[in-house]
Structure 1
Amino acid sequence: MNENDLVVGKQFESKEATVDAIKQFHIRNSFDYVVVESRPDRYVCRCKQFGAGCEWRIRASLNVKRGAWEIKKMNGGHSCVSTIVSQDHTKLNSSFISNCIINLISEDPGIPIKALVKEIVSRFGYTVTYRKAWKAKQLAMSRIYGNWEGSYNELPRWLNAVQYFAPGTIVRYSASPHSVDGVVDPNSYILDRVFWAFKPSIEGFAYCKPILQVDGTFLTGKYTGTLLIASSQDGNRRIFPVAFAIVEGETKEAWEWFFYNIRTFVTPQPNICVISDRGTGLLAALRTEMPHWGNTESVYCIRHVASNFNKEFRDVELKDKVIQMGYELMRPRFEAMLSALREKNARAGAWLDQIPKEKWTQCYDNGRRYGHMTTNLAECINGVLKGSRALPITAIVQTTYYRLNSWFVDHRDEAVNMIKAGHIYCEELTKVIKENQRKATGQLVRSFSRETGVAEVEVSSRAGARHSRVFTVKLVENWCDCGEFQSLRLPCSHAIATCSKLNIDCGQFISPIYRLDNILNVYGRKFEPIGNEEYWPPYSAPSFVPNPVMRRKRTGRPKTKRIHNEMDEVQPQLNKKCGFCRTAGHNRKNCPFRMSEVGESSRQ
């Protein structure tokens, strides 16, 4: 007997399990039934063609003594034959599918809908619609994380508990009045925006690189919205999330509100470099907020500048030149490349002239970026939280708390272990210094001033070059002609050669940000456990409800509003492989191995 078969005496732990077993049996065997009676202690159903050639009928009820449900009666097996060929089944509804995929959703909330459709095909042989699978996923997530409406009401209570157990956590709301039948409800508000930053992140940022990369990613759950993220990087080149917000979208007003909360409650220190894309609303917000942010500068992601350039001129070759110019460290080389671009396309050169050079080039940014030319840090955080974007709002906030806790524990332990091993700097930085020391070997240094550390460094010419290359180094100013010294805040090979000539420790010219003892300060403050709800402080403030305008469309396949460009294009696979035998040169349809297998089975 197959474990999915239905027999008299078979027991189940609940009525739901009994109904699911009956559904699975009929779906797998392409039968159908109707419910005759459904009570808390009894469940009776019969074949859909009962009385017209099929007498199948089943009766299950609660066995009070055993505390389990049991199949009491069943009239034989189905004798009906379906006359309809369909890719769907009436009993394969969203509720049933949610029961089947709930474990998958629990393991990976970001699992694609297409993967769920394939899972149903592999289990039952039916191909359900995208919409039905999407609804099933939402139902499963509601069972795991609670429903969306209740989650909005739970959010302030949970964040109130976080502020109680982890003092210093910043939470800010933006809400509007909630009307019921035209009457304003004084006890509830429509939640428009929420901003949060945890105390360990706020204190740790003071020891990170003074950069903030900001970006937004849309939510994919029952209610639309955008998750805004501000992140930085520690001296060990690890991503450091700083602050979050959920807003209605990437509008000017939403970005202004986000930046105001960051500069007021999270990053009051001056001289911060904000790296972002060139979204219209974001740029407008930066123009409003930058004058109030204490010498903070905003610069652009080179990938987005190049994307905007390519959208205007449709020239991939010139686009690559723009990216190369942005990364160039030496100003003379940059100016030569810009002149060459103007000669090829004067209008393209004029387009670039409209953007201040210090906002998109590394050679003119005076080291503000620490070598960061893109918003990859923020986009990496988007990837980490990708599976959380479909969760109810409270679950999203909780995810950031617990994942940041794991983040801090892992990186703190990593730094402690490296210090125990006798390291001063992280392993990756040590490799960079050793490589620069290797390059410095054999370089000719002519010292001009021992007091200021000014020197000329001559690098032997490469094969085929007419002259040796000469670089001027100014140790006191942490500056070199090559541009690497001032851009990365690390001594380049020319600076190391000068230090060796003058018998000076080059370590004093490495930014303190890269030291392991500083990295311990980054992750020094620990996240606190929130604990059992019984110990949470009482919450008596007004509750929140979702904005009904943000409710995702109830019918049809959910559509994304993301505007795709060439940065979203996936590199095409040059050597496509057969889906059956996984070899190149043919596809699944004309696979010789599959054809021979089909022929063999037909002969049998």
Structure 2
Amino acid sequence: MTSQDHKKMTSTFMSNYILGMVSAQPTIPISLIQERISGQLNYKVSYFKAWKAKQKALARVFGDWEESYDLLPRWLEYMMRFSPGSHYEFVTTDYKDQYGNVVPDFKKFGRVFWTYKQCCDAFNYCKPMIQIDGTFLYEKYSGTLLIATTQDGNSNVLPLAFAIVEGETLGAWTWFLRLMRVHVTRKQGICLISDRHATYEPCSYLFEQRLAAFRGRNTAVRQWINGISNEKWSRACDVEGRRYGHMTTNLSEAVNKVFRDARKLPITALVKCTYGRLVEYFVQRGSAAAAQQRAGDRYCNKVMEAMTKNATVAQSHIVRTYSIDRSRFEVEEGFNQ
């Protein structure tokens, strides 16, 4: 075998090896590709060559950027066969040629929304709180990925729904929230946290001072603020605890970081990545919950830790009953004898 033949065979084997990695993990970092090739094949590959090979592998798996848009509806239909009850929805516009004439056989992509039934079912057992946030897409085409996120009783993050839209416009957000109300949950009394506020004030007195100063700017601002209840502005006024201690969209921002690399992929690869990550989530969390049940735990770890902590603190309190039906008590800090 000539050196040229050996080089060609090595290149082909390496391409197939990278194809396998990308098929299993579309968001695999270039550095990890280099590391695996070096360890498995004893061959050093430059960052640029590994990047180029990954792009070719992505095109083979998901099609190129244009073809990926054609593939997406078929992949979503395929996904729904294995996840019945999930939902997706497209918005398209007419495609026009260079002369402004509508081409009947083609449509232009506008928006796409998708959610998985397992996430919608799980939300029934989570906090009635949803955080929403948007983040830019990278690479060839512009757009924004919208994500709705919640949190379960064990403080685990759960993505609920996704959408790819033209940007964080009023129309895009209205469309996204409407579809969530129809296809994710019809539960009432949900706390919706939409964006990070410029200020954070846990003290109700200082909050009232700052809000009064804000109201004094002009009549229009005062009228607008007066139409919004204080608990929607500050955690200090959330006497019912509907925010569950959350002031910002930190949950959605955490999910955005998880899908950071996926935002560089063709659209079908991005959507497929959300499916794969959520499969991992349910397998891991389900296994952990099953182990807790086998161990005889009645509540999740977070609740058990809080109950243990509160029980320890309560040992130094004195409780007196103040009603025959034991519905009223007096609690005094001190030490039980």
Determine whether 1:245 maps to 2:236: no
Residues 75-90 of structure 1: pairs in structure 2 closer than 5 A: none
Which residue of the other structure, out of 252, 255, 261, is the alignment partner of 1:378? 252
| Mapped contact 2:26–2:58 kept (Cα < 8 A) | no
- Kept in 2: contact 1:230–1:244 (CA 8 A): yes
Q: Tell me the SS of whatever aligns to 2:286.
A: helix
Contact 1:230–1:378 under 8 Å retained in 2: yes
CA shift for structure 1 position 386 = 1.6
1:209 counterpart (124, 127, 134): 127
- For residues 115-160 of structure 1, give each alpha carbon's deviation from its aligned partner in whole angstroms, at most 9, with x where no partner exists: 99xxxxxx689x98xxx99877645533453211111001111112
Flag the 1:249–1:450 CA change in 2: closer, same or farther, 3 A.
farther
Q: C-alpha separation between the residues in 2 aligned to 1:9 and 1:198? A: 53
Aligned partners of 1:110 and 1:388 also within 8 Å: no
SS at structure 2 position matched to 1:395: helix
After TM superposition, the score normalised by the length of structure 2 is 0.79
* Larger radius of gyration between Structure 1 and Structure 2: 1
Matched to 2:278, the amino acid is L
2:149 match: 231
What's the offset of the Cα at 1:170? Answer: 0.9
Partner residue of 2:177?
259
Distance 1:346 1:230, change over 3 A: closer
Match of 1:391 among 244, 252, 265: 265
The one-letter code sitting in structure 2 at the alignment partner of 1:268 is R
Q: Give the structure 2 partner of residue 173 of structure 1.
A: 90
Between the aligned partners of 1:220 and 1:393, the Cα distance in structure 2 is 11
Aligned residue for 2:192, secondary structure, equals: strand
In the superposition, the TM-score normalised over structure 1's length comes to 0.46
Q: Cα–Cα, structure 1 residues 383 and 439, in superposed 2: closer, same or farther, change >3 Å?
A: same
Q: Is the 8 A contact 1:228 1:245 kept in 2?
A: yes
Tell me the CA shift for residue 221 of structure 1. 2.8
Could you say which residue in structure 1 is the equivalent of 2:112? 194
For 1:416, the equivalent position in structure 2 comes to: 290
Number of residue pairs aligned between Structure 1 and Structure 2: 317
CA RMSD of aligned residues (A): 3.9
Structure 1's unaligned 5+ residue stretches are 1-7, 22-97, 117-122, 278-303, 310-321, 327-332, 462-496, 498-604
Q: Please list every run of 5 or more consecutive structure 2 residues that lacks an aligned counterpart in the other structure.
A: 35-43
SS at match of 1:269: coil
> Does the residue aligned with 1:456 lie in a helix, a strand or coil?
strand
- The superposition leaves residues 80-101 of structure 1 with CA deviations (integer Å, 9 ceiling, x where unpaired) of xxxxxxxxxxxxxxxxxx9998
Q: Give the match's secondary structure for 2:145.
A: strand
Q: CA deviation at 1:363?
A: 3.7
The letter of the residue matching 2:154 is: N
- Give runs of ≥4 in structure 1 deviating > 3 Å: 18-21, 98-108, 110-113, 132-141, 180-183, 345-356
Deviation at 1:232, TM superposition (A): 1.1
Specify the alignment match of 1:17 in structure 2: 8
More helix by share: 2
Cα distance, 1:226–1:181 mapped onto 2, change above 3 Å = same
1:556-591 deviation per Cα after TM superposition (whole angstroms, max 9, x unaligned): xxxxxxxxxxxxxxxxxxxxxxxxxxxxxxxxxxxx
| Matched residue SS, 1:417 | helix
Amino acid at match of 2:77: N
What is the one-letter code of the residue matched to 2:2?
G
For residue 334 of structure 1, the aligned residue among 204, 216, 226 is 204
Aligned 8 A contact 1:105 1:140 in 2: yes
